[in-house]
Structure 1
């Protein structure tokens, strides 16, 4: 990125210098001597004013982030988006809540395990919060297995029942995979024959694929990741940060009012 920026800057300087000198000839027609002279002038200028490259890189970063934000808004700002309406997700908390928090998680994510208490406290202290849980299994093959079990289990467990399952599985110590996910389901009284059958439904993998595509479109690069009030929040930012954003979502529909 830095090398590309330097080359672009040098090219602009060269073009500007050619115009300033009244030359209408393209750079490709410069003689070797002219090119050497231009390069020497540019090099000298940048050495004396290195902050130009810094400022250009800062501006480039700002523009890229703004473009990313606008791309995300086409999804997060659309109430009809599958981010909010997909059939392949768990809804907990208040389904009719006036603020929505979406979490992308992985059952083998250590940070997700730590952030579980943050989510529990948010729901405990906010009766009008709707929470959407999306399986985003990116860490291990076991993560995919656990997501498949959890997805199929939603045919039996919804709402508070699934929330209980989610907490227990996410609190499991050590690696989590199919065996651990099935064990928790069995302990909670799931119909295991039905669960085994439902796991073979193509809709299970289709739902996981949908979430992976959604995460890619939002440029998510890790778990946990959240969407609150149209904003994308990456990482386990803590209860206070999430609460502030949720409170703002209640007030104005955005994470920042």
Structure 2
């Protein structure tokens, strides 16, 4: 109700502006309405809105579309501004064709259920698209366990086992945390002493912090989130949805 009331006030203000603009004495005289005239205009606006309440829905819809368009433009600008940071990654975190004509960047959290369900989509894309380059960005936002898991995956990458470790955690139906990460590392035969040392390294934390800052600068608020070309795709949209965005990106290359 508050939103509708505020919208009505906005419409009233617009009507006042329109009336003032149409006044033969020009828009500059819009402040010349006396209290009686303003009251009459407000009554007209109120009566019109009461008789045609559906206009409020139209105005709200138009406002939402405008805000979405503005946000999309801001995101596109940010993607261009931070393109180097978006496309770069340690070698072990780049999948597919390193020289691919389209890069798909995924921001993910190891405890994100949608990220877990979306992993087969990425696998299917890599198996069927020889010109796709994929960059995986550790973006742990759900829990401290997510942070530990992200640190662990970077530690696994230092031993050349990033992809296998990544799959171990995303295939885990339970919660991913330090204990789960250590089990996965043991299953893969990693050097556990080195693994734990790398997890706690300052450089590991720095990589994660940089990704979080990058996501904030772009406007990413959840996981999974994909950047394909200059398009931000929030949420899991399925393999066909991703293929469509990839095709659009190729068409603009």
TM bin, normalised by shorter chain, reads 0.7 to 0.9
Structure 2 unmatched ranges of 5 or more: none
* Cα deviation digits, residues 98-144 of structure 1 (max 9, x gap): 21111111111111111111111111112221111111111222111
SS of match in other structure, 1:26? helix
TM-score relative to the length of structure 2: 0.86
- Cα 1:144–1:115 change in 2 (3 A) is same
Query: Is the Cα–Cα contact under 8 Å of residues 138 and 208 in structure 2 kept in the other structure?
Result: yes
* Cα deviation digits, residues 65-123 of structure 1 (max 9, x gap): 22222222224346842011245982112212121111111111111111111111111
- Cα 1:58–1:2 change in 2 (3 A) is same
> In angstroms, what is the RMSD of aligned CA positions?
2.6
Residue 216 (structure 1) aligns with: 216
Asked if 1:84 is matched to 2:102, the reply is: no
Residue 7 (structure 2) aligns with: 5
SS of match in other structure, 1:104? strand
- 1:144-155 matches, cutoff 5 A: 144-155=147-158
Residue 17 (structure 2) aligns with: 15
Query: Is the Cα–Cα contact under 8 Å of residues 75 and 81 in structure 1 kept in the other structure?
Result: no
- 1:233-252 matches, cutoff 5 A: 233-252=233-252
Query: Is the Cα–Cα contact under 8 Å of residues 154 and 162 in structure 2 kept in the other structure?
Result: no
Structure 1 unmatched ranges of 5 or more: none
Equivalent position to 2:106, from 103, 113, 123: 103
In terms of fraction of residues, the more helix-rich structure is: 2
Residue 26 (structure 1) aligns with: 31
Q: Distance in 1 between matches of 2:100 and 2:43?
A: 64
Residue 189 (structure 1) aligns with: 189
More divergent stretch after superposition (65-74 vs 105-114): 65-74
TM-score relative to the length of structure 1: 0.84
Query: Is the Cα–Cα contact under 8 Å of residues 137 and 144 in structure 1 kept in the other structure?
Result: yes
Q: Distance in 2 between matches of 1:48 and 1:88?
A: 64
More divergent stretch after superposition (146-155 vs 166-175): 146-155
